[in-house]
Amino acid sequence: MVDEAVSTVPRRQLGRLLREARREAGITLDGAAAALEYSRQKIWRIESGLGPVRTLDVKAMCDLYSVPPAMVGVLTGLAAETKARGWWHAYGDTVPQWFELFVGLEASASRLRSYDEALVPGLLQTEGYARAVNQHWSRSDDDRERAIEVRLQRQSLLRRRLPPAPQLDVVLSEAVLRRTIRDRHAMIDQLRHLLAADDLPNVSIRVLPLAAGPHRGAEAGTFVILDFPHSKGRQAEPPTVYSESLTGAAYLDKPDELAAYDWVWSGLETLALDGGQSKEMISQIIGEIHDE
């Protein structure tokens, strides 16, 4: 799974370099599409790193943008690396294309900082909780089961040996813990799973109590900040903020965007209970559900 996921970073790198080359050439997205006789969507997808890229297309774009020969070699080399298929491709349409990018980035990250105010994050969901969350999904039972399989498969990265498992730092709103599902036993299992996950050396789970009052995280909504490992003294991929909606997602990597979310994250850490207090609250809620 890890080797296949490496294709996600070259896709992002290639897209970013092609976008920079287009802008340096003074060519708009629409202008490039017209000159190359491509759809605007095709060029946008390439620049966004959303799929494999043909070497032929890269060469055509380089010719249009007057990219120096040495750089053309770099870009065509990256194009060849974009064709590896990740394990999630076996699930077809169950994994939306906009989410495929996140799964690959998640598997390539060295650190994940996750804030959730509605649900337990997918990397920490039990099968019973995931099934309850997906039960009202309008698609077929088979699609729901496959979506749950994908969610559980993703979790293997937290225990992988090589490359080292990423650090996962999670801040959960207390509301997530108190928003119970119909199956009380499944909810208890989920809360116990959080306690067990927090014992992993690379996982930290902290609770943001409702008593903390209004905070900037409520405005930002659920998000994940992904940091990537360094290679040869530089970071292979810039930190990225992932923010998901019902039908798509935003990938933010501009310095001012990252600074804004770093600031929100710092505020959440300041307001959240420490590790011991968070475990106490989770255990307390388990007891309350038991007594209902």
pLDDT in tens, 163-213: 899 999 999 999 999 999 999 999 999 999 999 999 999 999 999 999 999
Whether the Cβ atoms of residue 117 and residue 110 lie closer than 8 Å to each other: no
Distance CA 67, CA 19 (A): 12
Q: Who has greater pLDDT, 240 or 230? A: 240
Half-sphere exposure of 55 (CA within 13 A, CB side): 8
Q: What is the DSSP letter of 27?
A: -
Average pLDDT value for residue range 245-252: 82
Query: Residue 203: which residues within 8 A CB-CB, separation 6 or more?
Result: 158, 167, 168, 170, 197
User: In which band, very low, low, confident or very high, does the pLDDT at 141 lie, cut at 50, 70 and 90?
Assistant: confident
What pLDDT shows up at residue 2? 40
Average pLDDT value for residue range 207-225: 93
* CATH architecture of the region 2-81: Orthogonal Bundle (1.10)
**pLDDT value at 153 more than 70:** yes
Q: Are strands 167-173 and 111-116 parallel, antiparallel or unpaired?
A: parallel
Ranges for all domains in the chain classified under CATH 3.30.870: 88-291
Q: Which residues of 280-292 are buried (b: 16+ CB within 10 A; e: fewer)?
A: ebbeebbeeeeee
Answer positive or negative: Cα dihedral of 265, 269, 273, 278.
positive
Query: In percent, how much of the chain has pLDDT > 90?
Result: 63
**pLDDT value at 124 more than 50:** yes
Max distance between CA atoms of the chain, in angstroms, equals 71
- What CATH number is given for 88-291 in this structure? 3.30.870
What pLDDT shows up at residue 288? 95
**pLDDT value at 4 more than 60:** no
**pLDDT value at 91 more than 70:** no
Q: Which of 273, 285, 263, 278 is nearest to 113 (CA)?
A: 263
Q: Which of 220, 129, 114, 127 is nearest to 179 (CA)?
A: 129
User: In which band, very low, low, confident or very high, does the pLDDT at 236 lie, cut at 50, 70 and 90?
Assistant: low
**pLDDT value at 89 more than 60:** no
Q: What is the DSSP letter of 208?
A: E
Ranges for all domains in the chain classified under CATH 1.10.260.40: 2-81
User: In which band, very low, low, confident or very high, does the pLDDT at 232 lie, cut at 50, 70 and 90?
Assistant: low
